[in-house]
Amino acid sequence: MGARDWNPVYIITRDLFPWSVLMLAKSKTCAVVGLDGYIVEVEVDISPGLPAFTIVGLPDTAVQESRERVRSAIRNSGLEFPMRRITVNLAPADLRKAGPAYDLPIAVGVLLSSGQVTDDVSNSLFLGELSLDGSLRRTSAILSMVAVGREQGLSKVFVPVDNASEASLVKGMDAVPVHNLAELVGHLRGELELSAFCGEQYVAEKSGCYDASPASADVDIANVRGQDHAKRALEVAAAGAHNLLMVGPPGGGKTLLARAMPTILPSMTNEEAMEVTKIYSIGGMLPASHPLVADRPFRSPHYTISNAGLVGGGRLPKPGEITLAHRGVLFLDELPEFGHSALESLRQPLEDRTVSICRAQGSVTFPANFMMVGAMNPCPCGFHGDPKKNCTCAPSTVAKYQRRISGPLLDRIDLVVDIPAVEYDDLVAPEGQQSSADVRPRVETARLRQRERFCAAPLAANSEMGPREVWDFCQTEEAAKKLLQMAMNQLNLSARSFHRVLKVALTIADLEGSPNIAVAHLAEALQYRPRSMA
């Protein structure tokens, strides 16, 4: 036996690290900031020295903890974990990394650097959290990650099995479902063939889709007896995606009308469905069996919600209720009971259709193109102005209650409608009222006219028009112009109110199939303008 065989350093190195080829290895994964994904290159270097496992590149606690998950997953998958100095760099280093989705790319990088895997992975994306036994757990925000991978020219993505249907929504990327690390290694070594998941049927047929508005699933507008004027306002609001406020005593059907709104809204386009699905994927609210949000969201937060819950926020900003209601309905029941700061925080999103959240780590912008539907009583007891029940509130109490809805917020609401108590004759009237199935085709026809009108502009509904589009598309008859001038002088309309009246009038014209705004359209729009409720 030679002297070399008795060298203790050689014996330790040979036993603990049997591979002869060491190299710098790279794999690709993705980070998510807000709703946007960014490609992250995982660089793994194994060098001589005492055993250590270091992760650099601005990782958070969840990423730092991946060291223990990766170590156990590699060992429990029948592979060897190198007992040397391992350095993992997540580049770019100035981009904050958060979440457990880095487990799989780090494990692949370690196996590549140690020579246990030699396949070329430069055109692949690796996403997923590892269990200690090597299996892959479901991971959030997969859709944003896969989308940026396609934009960067990658062709294949390895994801947990539970995320495969979601990842397959991105066309141009082969989403390969993986059960565990051992299965992935077998595929990379050429010992096992893994096929890409085929999920185009989710976009084409919208089958097996997630319903983001379960509260309104069994509500039909025909369930509301009477309130014909309120149903008309609901139809106008749905046709143009206008904000709506209903004011009336308790029990008049305000909540039921609001919950019927999604049933008369037109279906989302594939592009809108992908936008909403990305938001729910970021929030971790997308079930594995329902990869696509096909129905318009309906969000109804309680009035005790915080500002961060409503608008979004947190140390690492997450979408709030107004973003979860994107392309759908945000229903605020008992509107004056919401906190003052929460209500005032709605002013900017209602105007800009986006919300920007600034934190010490940076700022993110979330989409917030939603319809706000509010419901409120005219006073704390609910019967101020009721012809049959006396109000028990003092005049000062009524005024204080109604002042909780500020003028600037009320100015951003397109339609305000009174909801009186329902009469007995309406409650016992026989069937025959219009259902949601009768109203929805008229709304869809009006939206189709708007899409044709805005074919050259990034707008989907009349409510999204700016001042320039109002002047370009709101063609008003001469008699209607005179009526509008009188309304401006008598109602003291602001410039914003002036534009919103024209938008609502144009929607009414779309429902009637008229190319121009007539006097009748403008008169109806003026009836919906907010007035003093006192």
CATH number, position 492: 1.10.8
- List the domain range (segments joined by +) for residue 508: 465-534
| Beta strands per DSSP E along 430-485 | none
Write out the DSSP string of 94-156. Answer: TS-B-SSTTHHHHHHHHHHHTTS-----TTEEE--EEPTTSBEEP-S-HHHHHHHHHHTT--E
* 253, part of any domain: yes
Yes or no: say if 334 and 250 are a contact pair by the CB < 8 Å rule: no
State whether 423 and 488 are in the same domain.
no
User: Quick one: 399 and 322 in the same domain?
Assistant: yes
Sheet holding 124-126, edge to edge: 124-126, 156-160, 174-178
Tell me, yes or no, whether 362 lies in a domain.
yes
Q: Mark whether 290 and 364 lie in a shared domain.
A: yes
Chosen domain end from 390, 425, 451: 451
Do residue 259 and residue 301 come from a single domain? yes
Give the DSSP letter string of 281-312: HHTT---TT---B-SPPEE---TT--HHHHHE
What CATH number did the domain enclosing 363 receive?
3.40.50.300
State residue 409's pLDDT score. 93
Same structural domain, 421 and 472 = no
- pLDDT for the residue numbered 15: 45
Give the DSSP H/E element, type plus range, for residue 30: strand 25-33
pLDDT for position 72: 97
Are 356 and 365 spatial neighbours (Cβ–Cβ below 8 Å)? yes
What local confidence, expressed as pLDDT, does residue 7 receive?
A: 41
Spatial distance between the Cα atoms of 103 and 97, rounded to a whole number of angstroms: 12
Residue 511 lies in a domain: yes
CB neighbours of residue 219 within 10 Å? 21
Check whether residue 325 and residue 424 sit in a common domain. Answer: yes
Whether 7 is in a domain gets the answer no
Q: State whether 151 and 220 are in the same domain.
A: no
End-of-domain residue from the set 451, 480, 497: 451
Tell which residue, 367, 359, 480, 438, has the closest CA to residue 98: 359
Clarify whether residues 511 and 392 are in a common domain: no
Q: Does residue 206 sit within a domain?
A: no
In a domain, 120, yes or no: yes
The neighbour count for residue 444, using CB atoms within 10 Å, is 15
Q: Would residue 342 count as lying in a domain?
A: yes
Domain identity same for 474 and 441: no
Q: Which of 152, 171, 199 is the last residue of a domain?
A: 199
371 & 497 share domain: no
Residues 6+ positions from 455 with CB-CB distance below 8 Å? none
172 and 293, same domain (yes or no)? no
Q: Does some domain include residue 345? A: yes
H/E stretch holding 66 reads helix 66-76
Q: What is the pLDDT along the chain (534 residues), one digit of tens a residue?
A: 444 444 443 333 434 444 445 679 999 999 998 888 999 999 999 998 899 999 999 999 999 999 999 999 999 999 999 999 999 999 999 998 998 999 999 999 999 999 999 999 999 999 999 999 999 999 999 999 999 999 999 999 999 999 999 999 998 899 999 999 999 999 999 999 999 987 554 444 444 455 555 444 568 898 888 888 999 999 999 999 999 999 999 988 899 999 999 999 999 988 999 999 999 999 888 877 778 888 999 999 999 999 999 999 877 788 999 999 999 999 999 999 999 999 999 999 999 999 998 877 678 899 999 999 999 999 999 999 888 888 999 999 999 999 999 989 999 999 999 999 888 777 777 765 788 999 999 999 999 999 999 988 889 999 999 999 999 999 899 999 999 999 888 888 888 899 999 999 999 999 999 999 999 999 999 999 876 544
Number of structural domains in the chain: 3
Q: What is the pLDDT of residue 285?
A: 87
Instruction: Say whether both 78 and 27 belong to one domain.
Output: yes
